């Protein structure tokens, strides 16, 4: 069997194991995918480490030691959990891994089991080479992580806190990248994810006067105040980013000068329509975003509630602090600010890696191999990934995969967590070959070159 065949077979097994993360500790059952991967690496010269912070929530690391302790290590961070499905909306078995019309269908095929399977297959091939004496110069570690879909508390986050030295975090790859931008003039551009926005979840509390619902006159209404808070929050317009990442992203689309200027200076919100299906993502990448997601007040119909709250999913950009977020909220609330108590929920600063250095250059060189002359555009993820833990531990982390020219960034986004999630087999083949090339380029072999530690 070819490396591609091995990867496809493994991908289908991982999908069929149905490691569904329902955002509670007793879900996920990633132990099933860990067992499949242990069997996949059976009888090969790899160091295996197994981590189980909660029963069934297993992360597992496979390391092929390098021959040169001075060579840069590479760590591939895949996750093995998937999000739940609404099965009546699927036209195929979401855990059947059915192949039809050049695609493999199943929950997790795109997010991110195709990359996880690729990482495993390429690492196994390096281990096979090592078994006959052709060791990589730099060590290669593949980690199959649990619990990524619920922010990694029983996966990468737990490892970063409790086992930070179990494997190197210095140079890491994970989801996703290698899709194409729909450039306005029809030319091409490839994206590489260099960072991700942070989290600044907030619960805003207000109070009013309680009483019987039959006598509301003269009482300060919690619900009315909550509604006014919601209105003022909706009117907040955070400033557009001045970062090189945002500016280079906009310029990569080759819009007309007027549209480009409006996007760069934030003068016309309607200009985001030029991005088409990428408008929402592009808007999120350009600024702090504030989404009102939960509102609560009262419990029974005949009682005036004394308190209520609104929950906000806020995503800050790199270099925006939690204090910056609170200041934006207070300014937006104006004279109501003193009447609102701001509670911090999940709060994590954004992380970003430089668009330079040995690993980034290896990514660019690999893209050039498959798509000669196509510019590479760094982007930020609006959501989270396990790469943020590598960056917080002092490493660099990039999203890496490779898609056919027809697969634009919005088309790849559309598959994430969708009904009938499916991966083009052509993209699996490209990703397998791209990972094989990049690992060889970065880790080298017994006779090849590899980046050296500074």
Nearest Cα neighbor of 381 from 418, 353, 419, 345 is: 353
Q: How far apart are CA 6 and CA 119, in angstroms?
A: 11
Low-confidence ranges of the chain (pLDDT < 50): 447
Question: How much is the pLDDT for 272?
Answer: 97
What percent of the chain has pLDDT above 90?
94
Contacts (Cβ under 8 Å, ≥6 apart) of 217: none
Alpha-carbon separation of residue 236 from 86, 108, 231, 295 (angstroms): 35, 36, 9, 18
Query: Residues 238, 244, 249, CA angle at the centre, nearest 5°?
Result: 85
- Pick from 360, 376, 359: nearest CA to 368: 376
Distance between CA atoms of residues 23 and 219, nearest Å: 40
Report yes or no: 366 and 438 within 8 Å, Cβ to Cβ. yes
Q: How far apart are alpha carbons 13 and 96 in whole angstroms?
A: 9
Structural domain spans, the chain: 3-184+351-443, 198-348
Predicted confidence at residue 449, as pLDDT, reads 65
The torsion region of residue 91 among left (phi > 0), alpha (psi -120 to 50) and beta comes to: alpha
Euclidean distance between CA atoms 173 and 7, whole angstroms:
18
φ and ψ of 142, to 5 deg:
-110, 125
What would the CATH number be for the domain defined by 3-184+351-443? 3.40.630.10
What lies within 8 Å, CB to CB, of 42 at 6+ separation is none
- Output the CATH code of domain 198-348: 3.30.70.360
In angstroms, what is the C-alpha Rg of the chain? 24
What are the residue ranges of helices labelled H in 168-302? 222-234, 244-252, 257-265, 279-286
Q: So what's the pLDDT on residue 274?
A: 97
pTM for the complete prediction? 0.93
Pick the closest to residue 120 from 6, 32, 20 (CA basis): 6
The contacts of residue 84 (CB under 8 Å, 6+ apart) are 20, 21, 22
- What is the structure's pLDDT at 389? 97
Measured CA to CA, the distance from residue 58 to residue 169 in angstroms comes to 19
Nearest residue to 197 via CA among 352, 325, 343: 352
Question: Cα(328)–Cα(334) distance, rounded to whole angstroms?
Answer: 10
Q: Assign residue 186 a region (left: φ > 0; alpha: ψ between -120 and 50; beta: otherwise).
A: left
Report strand pairing: 396-399 vs 171-174.
Answer: parallel
């Amino acid at each position: 069997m070819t490396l591609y065949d091995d990867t496809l077979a493994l991908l289908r097994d991982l999908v069929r194991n149905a490691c569904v993360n329902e955002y509670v500790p007793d879900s996920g059952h990633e132990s099933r995918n860990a067992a499949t991967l242990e069997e996949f690496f059976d009888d090969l010269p790899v160091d295996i480490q197994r981590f189980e912070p909660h029963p069934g929530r297993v992360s597992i690391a496979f390391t092929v030691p390098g021959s040169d302790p001075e060579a840069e290590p590479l760590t591939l961070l895949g996750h093995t959990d998937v999000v739940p499905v609404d099965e009546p909306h699927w036209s195929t078995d979401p855990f059947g891994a059915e192949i039809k019309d050049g695609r493999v269908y199943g929950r997790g095929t795109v997010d991110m089991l195709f990359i996880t399977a690729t990482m495993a297959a390429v690492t196994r091939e390096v281990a096979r080479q090592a078994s006959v004496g052709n060791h990589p110069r730099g060590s290669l570690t593949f980690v199959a992580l649990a619990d990524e879909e619920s922010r990694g508390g029983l996966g990468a986050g737990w490892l970063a806190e409790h086992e930070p030295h179990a494997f190197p975090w210095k140079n890491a790859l994970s989801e996703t990248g290698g899709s194409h931008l729909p450039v306005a003039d029809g030319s091409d551009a490839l994206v590489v994810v260099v960072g991700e926005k942070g989290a600044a979840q907030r619960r805003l509390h207000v109070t009013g006067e309680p009483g019987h619902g039959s006598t509301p006159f003269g009482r300060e209404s919690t619900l009315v105040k909550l509604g006014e808070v919601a209105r003022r929050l909706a009117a907040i317009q955070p400033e557009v980013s001045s970062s090189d990442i945002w500016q280079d992203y906009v310029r990569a689309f080759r819009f007309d000068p007027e549209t480009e200027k409006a996007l760069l200076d934030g003068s016309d919100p309607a200009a985001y329509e030029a991005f088409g299906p990428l408008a929402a993502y592009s808007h999120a990448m350009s600024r702090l975003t504030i989404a009102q997601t939960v509102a609560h007040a009262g419990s029974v119909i005949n009682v005036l509630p004394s308190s209520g709250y609104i929950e906000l999913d806020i995503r800050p950009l790199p270099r925006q602090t939690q204090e910056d977020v609170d200041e934006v909220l207070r300014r937006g609330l104006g004279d109501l600010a003193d009447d609102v108590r701001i509670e911090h929920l999940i709060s994590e600063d954004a992380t970003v890696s430089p668009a330079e250095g040995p690993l980034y250059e290896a990514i660019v060189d690999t893209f050039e191999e498959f798509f000669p002359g196509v510019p590479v555009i760094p982007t930020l993820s609006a959501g989270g990934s396990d790469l943020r833990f590598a960056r917080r531990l002092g490493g660099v982390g990039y999203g890496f995969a490779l898609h056919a020219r027809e697969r634009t960034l919005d088309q790849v986004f559309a598959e994430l967590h969708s009904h009938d999630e499916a991966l083009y087999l052509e993209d699996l083949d490209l990703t397998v070959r791209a990972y094989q090339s990049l690992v060889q380029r970065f880790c080298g072999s017994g006779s090849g070159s590899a980046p050296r530690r500074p």
